[in-house]
Structure 1
Amino acid sequence: MKVLVIGSGGREHAICWKIAQSPKVEKVFCAPGNGGIEIEDKCSNVNITDMDGLMDLALEEKIDLTVVGPEVPLTEGIVDKFKDRGLSIFGPSSRAAMLEGSKIYSKNFMKKYGIKTAEYAVFDQIDKALGYIGICSYPVVVKADGLAAGKGVFICQNYREAKSALEDLMIRNVFKGAGKKVVIEEFLQGVEASILTITDGNTIVPFISSKDHKQIYDGGVGPNTGGMGAVAPNPYCSEKVLEDFAKNIMEPTLRGIQQENLDYTGIIFFGIMITKKGVYLLEYNVRMGDPETQAVLPLMKSDFVDLIQAALSKRLLSFKLEWRKGACCCVVAASKGYPAKYETGFEIEGLKKENKIFAAGVKKENGIFKTSGGRVLVTYGIGGNLEEAIECAYENLKRVSFNGMYFRKDIGK
C-alpha cells in the first residue's frame, strides 16, 4: 500500500511512524511533513499543501489511503472532495467536522442529544456579551466560535479579564473572524482528560485515555500552548469515570451523529472534565490530538492501518483493538519564548530514531536539522508504569539539544 498523511506536526510524524510499521505499507508520503519525518523507514515528505495538489498527488501516485492530521482541511471539505474523485480517505465530512469547526454548533449538538456539558450562552454582538459578563458568576470561560489553533479559549477570573477576552475576539479580531461569535460558559472545576475514539458511523471504539499539559510553565501556570506534553493512560480515568464517559458522552454522541445523518468515519477526540458531579464534555475535536497522539500511538499494539481500514469498511464492531500494558509519556521541547515570540534556525543535535523522537517544528537544510517552529519536537518513553515512562521520556530528552531549548520538568507528575 501507498499511504498519504496530511499535516506537518509531531502528531503527523507519530501517525507516519505508526502507519509505516504495518507490513501492508510500502510507502508513506507526508504532505507537507517536516524535516524530521524522513528519519522513519518508508517515509518521505512532499511539499504540497493545496487541496487540488493533494488530490492530483493521490491520483498520480495511486495512493491507497489518505489520513488527515489537522482540523483545517477537514472543516474545509477535503474528505468530501477526495471521495468525489473516488479516493479513499479517513476523516469526517465537512458537515460532520463542524463539531470542531464551530463551538456554537457543537454546544447546541451536546444540548440537543443530552450530553453533559457546561451551561453556556452564545453571542454575536459585543454589547450583549458585555452585559452578560456583568451579571454572570466567575470564573467564566470565553471561547471563540471558530477555529483558533487551540488558542481561542480564555479562562477569566473577573469582569476585566472577560472584557479583555471579548474585545480581543469581537473587536480586535485577533483570530481573523473565528471570534466574531463567542460562547460564554460556566467554569467547571476538576481534572481534564483526553479520550480519542474511532468511529465508522455505526460503532464507536475508545482508545486509551491521555492527559495533556497545556500551560507553558511547571505547575500548570502561564499562558496556554498547543500542549507541552502528555501521558497515557490518564491516571485520573478510573473505571467509574470511563463508564460515565461511555454512557453519558460517547454513546449519545454517536446517536447524535446518526440522527443528524452526519457522514463520519474517523477520529473523535473528546476533551472531558472529571468533576465531583461526574464527567462533563468540554469540546470535540474531529482529529487526533497533539501531543496526545504522541503518547497514545506508542501503546497501540494493533496495526493502525488495519484499524483504519476496518472503520472505512464499516467493520469496527468485529475489530479487536489491542494495547500494550504499561504507560507512555511524551515531553515537548520548545523554542525559547514560545508561545509568544521566539527565534528559529538553530541546529538540533541528537535528532535520531533511536532517541524516540517525533519532530514538529523541524526543517532540514544541507543535511542539518534546524528549528523552524515553537514546539520543535517531543521525546517519548514507555514503561511498565507511569513513573518509568516519565523517567524514560526525560532520559531521551537529555540526548537532544538546540539553542534555547525549553521544556516543562513536571509532565505526568
Structure 2
Amino acid sequence: MTPFTVSAHPEDQNLPSWAKPVAAWPVVSASVKQSIQNILAEQTIKKTMESLKADEDLTLKQNIALSEIPAPPFNEQKKAQAFKELMITAGITDAYIDQEGNAIGIRKGSGNGPLIVLDAHLDTVFPLETDLKVVQKNGKYYGPGLTDDTRGLAVLLSWIRALNANNIKTVGDLMFVGSVGEEGNGDLRGVRALLKENKNVDAFIGLEPIPLGAVVSLNTGSVRYEVSFSAPGGHSYGAFGLVPSAIHAMGRAISNIAKLQVPSVPRTTFNVGIVKGGTSVNTISPDATMEIDMRSDGTKELQDLEQKVLDIIGKAVDEENKSIGQNLAVGKNSVTVNLKKIGQRPGGMTPNNSPLIQAALESLRAMGQKELVIVGSSTNAGIPISLGIPTVILPPGGVFEGFHSLQEGMDPTDGYKGSQIGLLTVLSVAGVQGVSQPLINKK
C-alpha cells in the first residue's frame, strides 16, 4: 500500500492517537451536492432531523439498557433478542434473528432501489461475569460496552422511529442489523454470514464510536494465532535442567516479540493478549498457551509481521530445548509447539471517489459540522470491502473514552448531531421517493 495522504484537519486536538489520516478528502461531485440539498429542502426531512434530536433521551435510555445485557462473542443471544424486540416496537414488525445470530429488520423501499445494510455489532469484549451496570458522573455515563458498540445499536433504533414517525419512503431497502462476532475471536462471523446469505447488498454503512467528523473508509487487516506449547513436565527441583518448560519457551517468545519494531506508517501493531498454562508453582510447566493479535493498514506489512512472529516462536522453542541439551527435531523431552490461526480479517479500502464517501463528507458539511479525518480501523467493514461493496463507518454521535476498558464512557451531549449526519448519508445513498434518486446503483 502506498503512503497515506494527509487529510483536511489532522491537527485537530479532538482526534485520538490512533486516528492517523489514510486519505485526502474527496472532491464532492455536483450530483452528490444537489441530491443532499434536495433532501434537506424537504419539510418532512427537516421534521425527521428534529425527531432525532427529540428522541435523544429515549436513545440514551435504550443505549444504557442494551449495554447492561452481557454479550461477549458467541454469547450475544439475549442482546440480539432484546434488540429484535426493540426494532419491532420501533415499527419493523417482521424483524428476525438469522441462523448466525444476527438481529435483522428490513424497511422496504419502492422495490427498485439498492439494498443498504445499516450495521452495529451486538458483542462486546467483556466476559459474561463482568459488572455492566452503567453509572452517571458529572454528565457522563460509564459502563463496559456502553459505547462499543451499543451506542450504534441505539442510534439504529432512533433512525427507525424517526423514519416511521415522518412517513419517509426510501427508494432503496434499508436492512438494519445488530451483528454478532465483531469482537475478539468472533472473527466477523456475523457479517460474513450476512453477506454470504444476502449477495444483493449494494452498500454497507456501519456505526462505531469514533469522533464526530471522522470517517472510516479503510479496514485494518488482522491475523490472530493461538500458540500452544507442550512439554513433558516434571518436578521443579528434581527435574531441573533435565526437561524444558513450556512456559519458559513461551516467555522467550513473548520477550522477543515485544522487541519487534513495526512501521508507524502504515500503522502496524501487535499484542499478546492472553497467556495461560502450568499446573503448580513447583511443576516445570507441561503446557502453555498464548493468543496474539497482529494488525496493519498495509497488506505487505501485515504479512511481514506475521512471518517475523512465527520465526520468533520457532526460535524460542529451539532455544528452550537447547538450554537442556535437547534437539528441536528429536527427543521425547522436547518442547513442541502448535500454531492455530484463530482469526483473519481482510484489509482494504473504499475508493475515495465513491459516492458513499462523498455523501458522508457532504452530509457533514450540510449539517454544519467540520470534517476531521478519514481513518482506518478494524471493524465489520473488512468483509464488505473485500467483496467490493461500497462501505463506510460513521460516528453515532457523542464523545467517547476508555474503549475496551471497565472505564468505558460517553458524554452524550449533542449526540443527536452524529445521528442526523448518519441518517442524511443513508437517505442520500438510498434515495427518497419523490425527492432524490439513490447515489448507489442497484446491482
Higher RCO (CA-CA < 8 Å; seq separation 6+): 2
More strand by share: 1
> TM-score range with shorter-chain normalisation?
under 0.3
TM-score (normalizing by structure 1):
0.26
Asked which structure has the greater CA Rg, the reply is 2
